[in-house]
Amino acid sequence: MGVGRPTSQFYLRVTARCQFSRAVLCADMTGIRPHGALPPLPVRCCVSSVTVRIALVDSGIGMLSTAAALRAARPDADLYLSMDPDHMPWGPRTPVEVIDRALTGARAAWEHADGVDAVVVPCNTASVHGLARLREAFEPEVPVIGTVPAIKPAAASGEPIAVWSTAATTRSSYQRKLIDTFAADVTVTPVACTGLAEAVESADPRAIDDAITHAADLTPPDVHAVVLGCTHYDLVSEQITAALGERAALHNAARAVAAQTLRRIGEVPVNERPGRVKVLASGRPAHLPTAALAYPPGRFLAGMPTEPANTSSL
C-alpha cells in the first residue's frame, strides 16, 4: 500500500479523509452549516496517504520559523505554505476579514494537497480571530493548531519580562488576558514594535534595524526574558538579541507549535521519500518569496545551505 505504513493505517487514513470531505459536503447540502462557514471541500480520497501533509496558513513569511521547525522534525512531511500576498497584511483588517482570509487559505491548501493531516496557523492575528472558525470547519477529523505568545514559559522564573508585539496586538484584550492569566505576579512591559513586522516581510535591513533599536530602547534594562509576540520577529531573533545586549532570553512559539502539530497528527511512520515544500500565493501555485531567502528558515525550506551559527533559529 505504500512505503512505511501498514495496510490498516493506510485504510484508516484514507477513510477518515473521505468521510471528512463527505461530511462537509452533506452539511452544506442540508443547510445546517453556519452562515459564512467554509464552502464544501472536494469529495476526493487521498492518492498518496502514506505521506504526512501539513497546511500552514498566514498572510506572509511570518510562517517560516514554524514551517522550518516542522521540516526539521519531520523531513518526510509535505508542507503547503498558504500565503496571502493579495490581501496582506492581515493585522489592520477586521476580524471578519481575517477569518475569511484564513478559511480561504486553508481551503486552498486542502485542495492543492488533496487533503491534509493538520492545519497550522503560525500567526497571532489569525489565531486570535480565525482559530475557532477553522476548527469548526475542519475538526475533529483534521486538527487545527494555533499560535499563542510564549508568555507562560517566559514568566516562569518570576523575573520581569517584556512582550514584543505589533501595535494592534499590544492594545488587544487578547494579550492583556494572556498576561493576566500567565504572568499576574510578574512585572510585564508590553512593547509595541511599530513597523517591525512590515520591515521583516520586505527584508529591509535598515528598516529592521531601526524598528528593533526603537523596541529595544522601550525595553527596561531589568527585563530577563522577551516574548516574541509576532511570528515575523522570530526571523530576526539574532538582531534582537544583539540589540538587547544579550541580557534577555527570547521566547517564541515555533518549536512548541511544531511539536503540538505532530502530537495531534499522531504516530505516523517516517516515509522514505523526502517531503516537499509547496507554496501558494493567495491560492495560486508559487515559489517562496525572494524576501524569505533573506532568513535562515527560508533558505532551509528552499534546500539552500544554512550557516551553522543560524541553525538555532530553525
The C-alpha atoms of residue 87 and residue 277 are separated, in whole angstroms, by 22
CA pseudo-torsion sign 77, 82, 85, 91: negative
Strand ranges (DSSP E) for 142-203? 144-145, 161-165, 188-192
Average pLDDT over residues 8-29: 42
CATH class for domain 7-147+256-313? Answer: alpha beta
Q: By percentage, how much of the chain surpasses pLDDT 90?
A: 67
Domains 7-147+256-313 and 151-252 share a fold: yes
**CA-CA distance, 249 to 107, in Å (whole number)?**
37
Tell the residue number behind the cell numbers 508585539, with chain if given: 165
250 torsion bin: left (phi>0), alpha (psi -120 to 50), beta (else): beta
Q: 284-286 and 277-281 as β-strands: parallel, antiparallel, unpaired?
A: antiparallel
Instruction: Return the biggest CA–CA distance within the chain.
Output: 60
208-226 mean pLDDT:
97
**SS3 state of residue 90:** coil
Q: Left if phi > 0, otherwise alpha if psi is -120 to 50, otherwise beta: which for 11?
A: alpha
Q: What is the mean pLDDT of the chain?
A: 84
The one-character DSSP state at 76 is: T
Q: What are phi and psi of 79, to 5 degrees?
A: -110, 130
Query: Which residue type sits at 220?
Result: P
pLDDT tens per residue, range 149-168: 999 999 999 999 999 998 88
Q: Which of these is catalytic: 26, 46, 193, 230?
A: 230
| Secondary structure letter of residue 279 according to DSSP | E
Catalytic residue (choose from 45, 46, 123, 193): 123
Q: What is the pLDDT of residues 184-202, one digit of tens each?
A: 999 999 999 999 999 999 9
- The DSSP call for residue 111 is H
Average pLDDT over residues 225-229: 97
Pull the grid cell for residue 245. Answer: 545586549
| Residues paired with 284 in a beta bridge | 281
- The predicted model gives 61-68 an average pLDDT of 96
> Which tops the pLDDT comparison, 233 or 16?
233
pLDDT of residue 168: 81
- pLDDT of 25: 37
230 as an active site residue: the answer is: yes
Does 46 qualify as catalytic in the annotation? no
Give the domain ranges of the chain.
Answer: 7-147+256-313, 151-252
The CATH fold assigned to 151-252 is Rossmann fold (3.40.50)
What one-letter code names the amino acid at 90? W
Higher pLDDT, 27 or 137: 137
- pTM across the whole model: 0.82
Letter string b/e over residues 245-281, b meaning 16 or more CB atoms within 10 A of that residue's CB: eeebbbbbbbbbbbebbbeebeebeebeeebebbbbb
